[in-house]
Amino acid sequence: MSAGERVLGWAVRLLPERRRGWGLAMRAELAQLESRGERRSFVLGCVMAVLRHPTVWLGLRYPVLLAATLTAGVLWSAQIAYAPLRTAVFAMLAVLIGLLAIGRWKGFLGPVRADRPARGIRAIGVALVAVLAIRTIGQFVRAVSSFDESAGTAAPIYTTIFGCYLCAFLAVTAQRSAAQSQNLATAGRAAAIAVAGWTVISLLWPPLPTTGAFALLAVSAAIFIAIGRAAGGGGQRVLAALTAGTLASLVIFTLVTVVLLRIPRWVPDIGGWALPASLTAAQRLQENQAYAVDPYIPVLMIGAILAAVLAVASMVLRRRAGSALAGQRDGHPQAGVGVIELD
């Protein structure tokens, strides 16, 4: 393949799906040209034609946003003096932003389906992971001790946890996911009911419970509600249940971190007598904020395990659907004939 063909190939990939036929037409015309000058001029003209297409620029919004987020994250984490921790934070950013980028491509993780439940669950999931990732990186940036532990253990664990959540939300809402739209809506409702129940128990009056048991009960409730209400066979129920459990875990953990961070009245005196009496009220609050989140870490971890299982289940079930489709195509030769239309 010549350099011109390669450049044109990259350029036409920027065209929206419905314009891809024009890209093929341009490439076919290029293949007919012999003169180097003509080929160069033709490629340049075609690239200009592609770049003039307004949707090409709209399509670049997302990569630009991701690149800007990565840049902002790198600049922010540059404040971390300890190099291994800085590298670990960069790795976290790269993994999460990389997953979001892959979530736009055709494959296991993307692109997102057109239905509202899929779009809603993906948007909520990504937003919650973003909130937690920002909070975690913020803690690393502000940290004044335990750099080794943060770089060697905490940062990789959080990267894995957030990565699992992202993979799950991307996989179950991808275009070729087997999860039915109505079951995603059911999962969303089940998670909402469970979180509402937990909120009534835990957040209506201060302080926040010093046990994660209610939260784990709520996650279990979300799973059982989704299993009971989901339509279709076992696979559909499994996907709905895992989606509900994953979502409920993430919402509850995010609520806990936000409440502990923003509403001092809800911060329990979990340190109690173990904290030195010499601490000021502000220092005591800071210590309690740090410790009070610990009982909820298992909720985040269990949610991450559910998310990992959900991601794998989405891929396995999708593969089966793909195999079934391939079988159907084998039986119907016409189904395999590709028809390229310009619009």
Partner 1 sequence: MTRRPSAQTALVLAAFAADPPEWRYGYALGQEVGLKAGSLYPILMRLSDRGLLESKWEQDPSPGRPARHLYRLTGAGLQVARQVAQAAQPKRHGQAQVAW
Site residues (vs partner 1, CB under 8 A): 19, 21-22, 24-29, 31-33, 41-42, 44-49, 52-53, 340, 342-343
Q: Nearest distance from residue 33's CB to partner 1, in Å? A: 7
Q: Nearest distance from residue 319's CB to partner 1, in Å? A: 32
Comparing CA positions, the residue from 297, 270, 309 lying closest to residue 154 is 297
Residues 6+ apart with CB under 8 A from 170: 99, 100, 102, 103, 109, 110, 112, 122
Q: Nearest distance from residue 62's CB to partner 1, in Å? A: 23
Residue 41 or 328 having the CB closest to partner 1: 41
Q: Nearest distance from residue 30's CB to partner 1, in Å? A: 8
Q: Hey, what are 237's tokens?
A: 């129920």
Residue 22 or 82 having the CB closest to partner 1: 22
Residue 25 or 74 having the CB closest to partner 1: 25
Residue 12 or 225 having the CB closest to partner 1: 12
Q: Hey, what are 145's tokens?
A: 């001790």
Q: Hey, what are 32's tokens?
A: 């007919």
CA 100 to each of CA 63, 166, 223, 319, 321: distance values in angstroms, whole numbers, following the listed order: 10, 8, 26, 21, 24
CA atoms within 13 A on the CB side of 212: 22
Residue 44 or 200 having the CB closest to partner 1: 44
Comparing CA positions, the residue from 30, 139, 143, 142 lying closest to residue 92 is 139
Q: Nearest distance from residue 34's CB to partner 1, in Å? A: 11
Residue 25 or 203 having the CB closest to partner 1: 25
Q: Nearest distance from residue 54's CB to partner 1, in Å? A: 11
| Biggest CA-to-CA distance, the chain | 86
CA 242 to each of CA 64, 135, 264, 304: distance values in angstroms, whole numbers, following the listed order: 32, 25, 33, 11
Residue 42 or 291 having the CB closest to partner 1: 42
Buried b (16+ CB within 10 A) or exposed e, 164-178: bbbbbbbbbbbebbb
Please return the burial class of 251, using the count of CB atoms within 10 Å of its CB with bins 0-12, 13-18 and 19+: buried
Q: Nearest distance from residue 56's CB to partner 1, in Å? A: 12
